[in-house]
């Protein structure tokens, strides 16, 4: 199987990046140590569609060490790092991805990776599952199951399951406690601001930062914006999340109001058209917009283009949209995930947990996939505890144990 990547000569830099993150991923190191010996995935094939950067590469290599044949593609045209793709090819994986691929190339890559005829899949955002349920249906009977990395992908899966159209068991890795509580909150919280700050080279303190969506990702984005000294405003559609934001100490208002006063806008809702024409029309000169939701539809870019008199790149990953009245509005990273398109994704210590969830979900499907009917499942609860224990040990953090009397008091035995 031929790989499709930008340039194999980039591999040395990719290897360096992978070596770096390995130092900070003790859960994955423990997994590698154990399962490279027992090789539970021997004879099995996997297709992985994830943001193709160093942490992802480390996990893909661990699946290979554990016996699997692995084909991998990117889950977003701008998040693939070409040196990482090259390093993985050198390490014997099948790689179909390059940075800045067109929409057509993006889906061709997934299609090509599927030629491996996978037993197990890992998806991020739902495009791989979608292709299996449409163009590549002949592969369905072979599949034991898969897991999904992100909130948006889980929404799509639940929709498919509700219509009775999901054809194999999928684990909502995103919904595991050890994933969303850390990845969505602390991961997105940090990597988003890292992406925005390295792209703009501007100060965050004192700015009005408008965060749309107060789910786990929005909570993280808001918490870190506050830490950087911003005046944080939340927009929400869910009354409960809006109250949470109020009691977390943030101002909450509709986007129509926030649009007039925001300096930086950040969308993390998973929905489309969160910022649209009527908002662009009232924004301040110099307002900046970025997205950290999975798809590039949260800021309505066609409408932004339509109401602008010009569009041009003014700095790497920053486009200026000049308005008829002379105002300049800025869009970061084409409205794609700013933390991956203009950064390196979540910190390694965080992806250590998320990919621990992914590994053990795949192992669970390997062992039990045939017993599960097509549906969306949570990762078994005890795996959360196992991952947390490995992480705590690696951090040198000890915790208390219940006494026999305490266990009895809580009716635990
Ligand atoms: N790195 C790899 N996958 C990622 C994801 N889903 N979010 C952030 N960083 C990542």
State in Å: Cα 325 to ligand 1 middle: 39
> Residue whose CA is closest, atom 2 of ligand 1?
51
Q: What is the pLDDT of residue 12?
A: 98
The DSSP string of 336-388 is SBHHHHSS--S-HHHHHHHHHHHHHHHHHHHHHGGGSPSSEEPPPHHHHHHHH
Distance CA 255, CA 253 (A): 7
The reply to whether 333 and 374 lie within a common domain is no
> Residue whose CA is closest, atom 10 of ligand 1?
345
pLDDT at 1 over 80: no
pLDDT at 70 over 80: yes
Supply the range of the domain harboring residue 272. 186-342
Q: Can you give 232-261 as a three-state secondary structure string?
A: EEEECCCHHHHHHHHHCCCEECCHHHHHHH
The reply to whether 282 and 151 lie within a common domain is no
Q: Any idea what the CATH number is for the domain that residue 106 is in?
A: 3.40.50.1480
User: Is 400 part of any domain?
Assistant: no
pLDDT per position as a tens digit, 133-158: 999 999 999 999 999 999 999 999 99
The reply to whether 116 and 139 lie within a common domain is yes
Q: For the residues 365-392, what does the mean pLDDT come to? A: 95
State in Å: Cα 51 to ligand 1 middle: 6
Which pLDDT band holds residue 413 (cuts at 50, 70, 90)?
confident
User: Is 2 part of any domain?
Assistant: no
User: Is 274 part of any domain?
Assistant: yes
User: Is 377 part of any domain?
Assistant: yes
Does 98 belong to an annotated binding site?
Answer: no
Helix (H, G, I), strand (E, B) or coil at 144: coil
User: Is 167 part of any domain?
Assistant: yes
Cα–Cα nearest to 140, from 129, 148, 150, 149: 129
| Probe residue for ligand 1, chosen from 149, 189, 340 as the CB with the greatest number of ligand atoms within 8 Å | 340
User: Is 353 part of any domain?
Assistant: yes
* Beta strands, E only, 34-162: 45-49, 69-73, 94-96, 120-123, 145-148
Does 106 belong to an annotated binding site?
Answer: no
Place of tokens 């994986």: 93
Q: For the residues 308-315, what does the mean pLDDT come to? A: 98
pTM of the model as a whole: 0.95
Give residue ranges with CB within 6 A of ligand 1: 50-51, 53, 55-56, 124, 149-150, 187, 191, 339-340, 345-346, 351
Which pLDDT band holds residue 9 (cuts at 50, 70, 90)?
very high
The reply to whether 382 and 241 lie within a common domain is no
Does 215 belong to an annotated binding site?
Answer: yes
Nearest atom in ligand 1 to the alpha carbon of residue 124 is 6
The reply to whether 203 and 303 lie within a common domain is yes
Return the structure tokens found at 74: 């990117």
pLDDT per position as a tens digit, 17-53: 999 999 999 999 999 999 999 999 999 999 999 999 9
Distance CA 106, CA 341 (A): 15
pLDDT at 64 over 80: yes
The reply to whether 129 and 245 lie within a common domain is no
pLDDT per position as a tens digit, 267-301: 999 999 999 999 999 999 999 999 999 999 999 99
State in Å: Cα 11 to ligand 1 middle: 21
The DSSP string of 276-326 is -HHHHTTPPTT-EEEE-SSSTTSB-HHHHHHT-SEEEEEETTEEEEE-TTS
The reply to whether 259 and 357 lie within a common domain is no
Nearest atom in ligand 1 to the alpha carbon of residue 188 is 8
The reply to whether 22 and 166 lie within a common domain is yes
Q: Any idea what the CATH number is for the domain that residue 194 is in?
A: 3.40.50.720
User: Is 407 part of any domain?
Assistant: no
pLDDT at 243 over 90: yes
Q: Are strands 264-267 and 69-73 parallel, antiparallel or unpaired?
A: unpaired
Asked if 342 and 199 touch (Cβ cutoff 8 Å), the reply is: yes
The reply to whether 226 and 265 lie within a common domain is yes
The reply to whether 246 and 371 lie within a common domain is no
User: What is the helix (H) or strand (E) element at residue 112, kind and residue range?
Assistant: helix 103-114
What is the share, in percent, of the chain residues with pLDDT greater than 70?
A: 100
User: Is 1 part of any domain?
Assistant: no
State in Å: Cα 346 to ligand 1 middle: 6
Does 123 belong to an annotated binding site?
Answer: no
Average pLDDT, the chain: 97
The reply to whether 265 and 360 lie within a common domain is no
State in Å: Cα 118 to ligand 1 middle: 22
Domain total in the chain: 2
Alpha-helical (H) ranges within 181-238 are 188-200, 216-227
pLDDT per position as a tens digit, 170-215: 999 999 999 999 999 999 999 999 999 999 999 999 999 999 999 9
Q: Are strands 318-322 and 288-291 parallel, antiparallel or unpaired?
A: unpaired
The reply to whether 197 and 309 lie within a common domain is yes
């Amino acid at each position: 199987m031929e790989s499709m990547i930008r340039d194999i000569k980039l591999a040395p830099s990719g290897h360096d990046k992978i070596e770096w993150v390995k130092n900070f991923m003790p859960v994955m190191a423990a997994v590698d140590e154990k399962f490279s010996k027992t090789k539970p995935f021997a004879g099995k094939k996997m297709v992985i569609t994830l943001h193709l950067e160093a942490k992802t590469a480390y996990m893909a290599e661990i699946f290979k060490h554990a016996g699997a044949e692995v084909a991998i593609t990117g889950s977003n045209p701008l998040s693939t790092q070409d040196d990482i793709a090259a390093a993985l090819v050198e390490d014997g994986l099948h790689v179909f991805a390059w940075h800045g691929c067109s929409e057509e190339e993006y889906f061709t890559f997934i299609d090509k990776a599927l030629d491996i005829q996978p037993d197990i899949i890992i998806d991020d955002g739902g495009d791989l599952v979608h292709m299996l349920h449409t163009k590549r249906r002949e592969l369905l009977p072979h599949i034991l199951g898969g897991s999904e990395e992100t909130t948006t992908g889980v929404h799509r899966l639940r929709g498919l399951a509700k219509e009775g159209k999901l054809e194999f068991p999928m684990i909502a890795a995103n919904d595991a406690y050890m994933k969303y509580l850390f990845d969505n909150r602390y991961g997105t919280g940090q990597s988003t601001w890292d992406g925005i700050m390295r792209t703009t080279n501007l100060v965050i303190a004192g700015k009005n930062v408008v965060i749309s969506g107060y789910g786990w990702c929005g909570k993280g984005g808001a918490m870190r914006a506050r830490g950087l000294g911003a005046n944080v405003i939340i927009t929400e559609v869910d009354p409960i999340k809006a109250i949470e934001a109020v009691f977390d100490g943030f101002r909450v208002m509709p986007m129509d109001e926030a649009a007039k006063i925001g300096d930086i806008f950040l969308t993390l809702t998973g929905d489309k058209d969160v910022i649209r024409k009527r908002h662009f029309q009232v924004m301040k000169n110099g307002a900046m917009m970025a997205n950290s939701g999975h798809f590039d539809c949260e800021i309505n870019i066609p409408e932004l283009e339509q109401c602008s008199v010009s569009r041009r790149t003014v700095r790497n990953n920053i486009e200026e949209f000049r308005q008829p009245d002379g105002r300049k509005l800025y869009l970061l990273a084409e409205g794609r995930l700013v933390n991956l398109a203009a950064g390196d994704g979540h910190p390694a210590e965080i992806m250590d947990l998320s990919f621990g969830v992914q590994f053990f979900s795949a192992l669970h499907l390997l062992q039990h996939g045939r017993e599960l009917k097509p549906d969306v499942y949570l990762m078994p609860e005890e795996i959360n505890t196992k991952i947390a224990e490995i992480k705590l040990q690696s951090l040198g953090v000890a915790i208390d144990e219940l006494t026999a009397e305490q266990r009895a008091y809580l009716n635990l035995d």
